[in-house]
Amino acid sequence: MKAVVHEGKPGFEGLSYQEMKEEKPGAGEVRVKLKTAGLNHRDLFVLHRHQPNDPPLIIGSDGAGIVDVVGDGVSTVKVGDEVMINPGLGWEKNSAVPPQNFEIVGFPFHGTFAEQIIVPAVNVAQKPVYLTWEEAGVLSLSALTAYRALFTRGRIRQKMKILVPGIGSGVATFLLQFAKAVGAEVYVTSRLKEKREKAIELGADKAIASQEDWEQALAGEKVDLVIESVGAATFNKSLKQLRPGGTIVTFGASAGDDVQINIRDFFYGQFNLLGSTMGSAEEYNEMLQFIQKHKIRPVIDQVYPLQQFAQGFKRIESANQFGKIAFLVD
């Protein structure tokens, strides 16, 4: 089978589109003939985490397709089922933190940028009928990350005021859609006018330029919840917009890991700071029920044939995308 494989060299230079051995599923596993796959920022990080002396690795965490082989003992899935991949391995029940054996499809195990993938049967879910293959193939990782950050950690409620800095990523576009579906008021930021305009079209109540004074742009208005994924570049600006007793949930640091804060202002403000990563299978199923109830669709930025993977990587690395990048596998 054909696949996008990382081996031999660090970073992007180690990527190639090549032939890989076709495998059959073991007990409790299924093989999915993939129709589409989705690109995530995680795939960029994997290119540096996967070392040149490691065995060749098929990367990619998101995908959707049709089950073509079922392993022994599998009764919940049958050949011909149209499914999406839940990329979280080994985290079944909602818990404060993932179990120690938690991993994500695409590293250290083979991923979705291939014609086929073998995963545990518990890691596939029926594709919602209303979603296209492109939409189903890009949804899982970003939507699950957004769902846990907003609902499990942020405890979002109707009429809350939410701030999402750095609108444009797949997760951020889901955060906006999920929060609006609940009935929250959502403010977003971006350095690009085009992204701010698209966010307003998607339902944002206000879209602020990243480089301007956020406090002035919001006329001093404070928010109940901030979902932070930018990191050092925006964290303190986000903190200034938080009401006393408000909460920041952080799941990423695309613009710097190290943040310096005034701890006295923080504890006087009675603020809450929570971390979040991906989510459990239980939350994944809740998320699927939620998107089907509200008929939420991923925002698709670009679609490329899998063999043109380099174009997708260049686009996500430049941070010019709004929403998800999809790869057509067949």
- 166: which DSSP letter? S
Q: Are residues 230 and 252 in contact, defined by beta-carbon separation less than 8 angstroms? A: yes
- CATH of residue 194's domain is 3.90.180.10
Examine the fold and report which residue of 275, 293, 311 is the final residue of a domain before the chain moves on.
275
Mean pLDDT, to the nearest integer, of 284-297?
A: 98
Q: Is 265 found in the same domain as 284?
A: no
pLDDT digits (tens, 9 = 90+) for 127-162: 999 999 999 999 999 999 999 999 999 999 999 999
Q: Is 186 found in the same domain as 71?
A: no
CA distance 63 to 121: 14
CA distance 324 to 330: 19
Q: Is 157 found in the same domain as 105?
A: no
pLDDT at 234: 84
pLDDT at 301: 97
Q: Is the pLDDT of residue 242 over 90?
A: yes
Q: Is the pLDDT of residue 330 over 90?
A: no
Q: Are residues 89 and 35 in contact, defined by beta-carbon separation less than 8 angstroms? A: no
Q: Is the pLDDT of residue 255 over 70?
A: no
Q: Is the pLDDT of residue 187 over 70?
A: yes
Residue listed under structure tokens 């809350």: 160
Q: Which of 165, 137, 162, 166 is nearest to 151 (CA)?
A: 162
Q: Is 168 found in the same domain as 127?
A: no
pLDDT at 206: 97
CA distance 119 to 110: 9
Q: Is 105 found in the same domain as 199?
A: no
pLDDT at 129: 97
Q: Is 253 found in the same domain as 156?
A: yes
Contacts of 99 (CB under 8 A, 6+ apart): 90, 91
Residue 250 corresponds to which tokens in the numbers above? 């952080």
Confidence of residue 291 (pLDDT cuts 50, 70, 90): very high
Q: Is the pLDDT of residue 320 over 90?
A: no
Lowest mean pLDDT among 20-34, 68-82, 256-270: 256-270
Q: Is 297 found in the same domain as 316?
A: yes
Q: Is 32 found in the same domain as 106?
A: yes
- Distance, C-alpha 321 to centroid of its chain: 14
User: What does pTM read for this prediction?
Assistant: 0.96
Q: Is 84 found in the same domain as 50?
A: yes
Q: Are residues 210 and 237 in contact, defined by beta-carbon separation less than 8 angstroms? A: no
- 107: which DSSP letter? B
Q: Is 179 found in the same domain as 162?
A: yes
Q: Is 178 found in the same domain as 136?
A: no
Q: Is 201 found in the same domain as 117?
A: no
Give the chain's domain count: 2
pLDDT at 253: 74
Mean pLDDT, to the nearest integer, of 63-80?
A: 97
Range of the structural domain that residue 51 is part of: 2-141+279-328
Q: Is the pLDDT of residue 48 over 90?
A: yes
Distances (CA, A) of 193 to 166, 168, 174, 207, 209: 12, 11, 19, 9, 7
Prior bond to 108 cis, omega within 30? yes
pLDDT at 283: 98
Percent of the chain with pLDDT strictly greater than 90:
93
Examine the fold and report which residue of 236, 258, 275 is the final residue of a domain before the chain moves on.
275
Question: Helix, strand, coil % (nearest 5) of the chain?
Answer: 30, 30, 40
Contacts of 141 (CB under 8 A, 6+ apart): 38, 40, 42, 61, 62, 87, 104, 170, 278
Distances (CA, A) of 78 to 31, 62, 91, 125, 207: 10, 21, 23, 12, 45
CA distance 85 to 126: 9
